[in-house]
Structure 1
Amino acid sequence: MPRTDRLFRLLQALRMLPAPVTAARLAEETGVSIRSLYRDIDSLRAAGACIEGERGYGYRLIEDGALPPQIFDRIEIEALVLGLAEVRHMGDPALARAADAVLAKVAATLPDASQQHLLHAVSRVRRSEMRFAPSVGMAAIREGCWREEAVTIRYADKDERITERTIWPLAIVYLDRKLVVLAWCCLRAGYRMFRADRIAAAEAAGASFRPKRVTLLRTYLDALAQEGSAGAGA
């Protein structure tokens, strides 16, 4: 692992793990020896990170020099905590991990008083079950959206007939009770909305549709809005 990546990983571990974090735990997290871990701690300190602690005790990130200080008022902190908690209950493991990482990064940039507000926020999310069942292929579809690359999916229609399609994924939309993918379907040569729970498999197709995603998505959303307006008028 390149040294820069290792230091970033160590910094992220210090942000996320309960403090104080032992050198052994940090070495395990970053995949280095204890001796290398001590050198990496010294490197982060030299780069501006304020890390409290010492060998045999453990380490705590007091001030993160890699991130600018953030100023949020109490209601903004409540909104942040509540929103990220909701993301954790979406049912997408990758997004849940990302929500934890975002919260840790934000906390590392806050003054002490604001950190306490964040850690002991008034607003909470409690759900007996995930809002959406974990879906097959979301990682490939999300990557396809980011990279503007086609994705091949195996899709079951309402009669459970399986077809293989190549799509240009445009957006992932979280509706009240279902997760859908907005896409251009190459098989049907038109816009389609695919239910995530009916996608049996998804993988990159290796073909780019850049730079069409933003224009295609805007056109599709406009069409959906017009359909909604027509339905409301009827």
Structure 2
Amino acid sequence: MSRAERLLQLLQVLRRYRRPVSGQTLANELCISTRTLYRDIASLQAQGAIIEGAPGIGYVMKPGFMLPPIMFRSEELDALVLGMRWVADRCDETLSGGALGALAKIAAVLPAELRRELEESSLLVGAPLTRPAHTISPDLLRAAVRAELKLEITYVDGSGIQSRRVVWPFALVYFDQARVLMCWCELRADFRNFRSDRILSVEQKMERYPKRRSTLLREWRKLNQVASRTILPESDSMAQ
């Protein structure tokens, strides 16, 4: 690995940590000596990176430092292309356009060799299985999650029983054959998951729910240690 690549990787590692991290931890992750790490941090600080800390205390990078022209390893480019192509193929028009736009922006700032590698990637997304139609715009659901707004929904379960309830939406989960809105349900006073294709109507309450969505997500995770089993939409006991 060249020194430039190592400095870029150090920046990326520092960005992952929100609290001070020891020099030894950083050195171990980069497979370098602590002496080399201290020199690299001094180099980044000289280039304008706001890295606070000292040996024996730990380091944290403050936001705002702009990365140099984007560089990616081959596996990182593969992950980007495959992920963006999946979103473009599987998601609604808004997210599909966002994925293609983001990929174009990344390609525009890549060096010529990496841009060619991105454009010629042979990682493709297979044809999707048949997906149910959705009555409710996913833009509306995503907007409610971002703004932490209550929704009043009319929902029909797998048995055809309709219910009207007020929910606090805090996440939207994407599966190949379904989207699941994760909520706190006021009717049940508990967490509930709702398949978006079974939501018949939505009224945005313009009232923020009393907790932050990040708090709700943490609480949900504590209650559901194996998340993949809990949010699967196949059974109506999970997607109520």
What is the TM-score with the length of structure 2 in the denominator? 0.61
Q: 2:68, 2:105 → 1: CA distance?
A: 10
Task: Show structure 1 runs of 5+ residues with no match.
Answer: 1-65, 230-234
Q: Please tell me the residue identity of whatever aligns with 1:202.
A: V
- Other-structure match for 1:186: 186
List per-residue Cα deviations over 1:58-117 (Å, max 9, x = no partner): xxxxxxxx9962111222111111111111222422211111111011111111111111
Contact kept, 8 Å, 2:149 with 2:168, in 1: the verdict is yes
* Equivalent residue number for residue 35 of structure 1: none
Q: Secondary structure at the match of 2:168?
A: strand
Corresponding residue for 2:222? 222
TM-superposed CA distance for 1:137, in Å, is 3.4
Equivalent-residue separation in structure 2 for 1:70 and 1:135 (angstroms): 40
Q: Tell me by how many angstroms 1:134 deviates.
A: 4.7
5 Å matches for 1:1-234? 69-127=69-127, 129=129, 133-134=133-134, 136-175=136-175, 177-209=177-209, 211-225=211-225
Distance change (3 Å), C-alpha of 1:99 and 1:115: same
Cα gap change, 1:86 to 1:171, in 2 (>3 Å):
same
State the 1:136 CA deviation. 1.8
Kindly provide the CA deviation profile for residues 107-139 of structure 1, in whole angstroms up to 9, marking residues without a partner as x.
111111111111111211131556675562322
Separation in structure 2 between the aligned mates of residue 182 and residue 128 of structure 1, nearest angstrom: 23
How many residue pairs match? The answer is 164
**SS at the partner of 2:225?**
helix
Distance in 2, Cα, partners of 1:98 & 1:82: 14
| Aligned residue identity for 1:191 | F
Q: 1:175 to 1:128 in 2, by over 3 A?
A: closer
Change (3 A) 1:99 1:190: same
Q: 1:93 to 1:68 in 2, by over 3 A?
A: farther
* Unaligned 5+ runs, structure 2: 1-65, 231-240
Query: What SS is found at the alignment partner of 2:224?
Result: helix
Supply the distance in 1 between the matched residues of 2:158 and 2:132 (Cα, whole angstroms).
Answer: 19
Is 1:87–1:99's contact at 8 Å kept on the other side of the alignment? yes
TM-aligned CA distance change 1:88 to 1:130, over 3 Å: farther
Query: Structure 1 length normalisation: TM-score?
Result: 0.62
SS of the equivalent of 1:225 reads coil
Q: Deviations over 1:161-200 (max 9, x none)?
A: 2222221101111246432111011222221111111111
Contact 2:132 2:197 in 1 (8 A): no
Shift in alpha-carbon separation, 1:82–1:130, aligned structure 2, 3 A: farther
Fraction of identical pairs, as percent? 34
Show CA shifts across 1:23-56 (max 9, x none).
Answer: xxxxxxxxxxxxxxxxxxxxxxxxxxxxxxxxxx
Q: Secondary structure at the residue paired with 1:159?
A: coil
Q: Quick check: 1:182–1:194 contact (8 Å CA) kept in 2?
A: yes
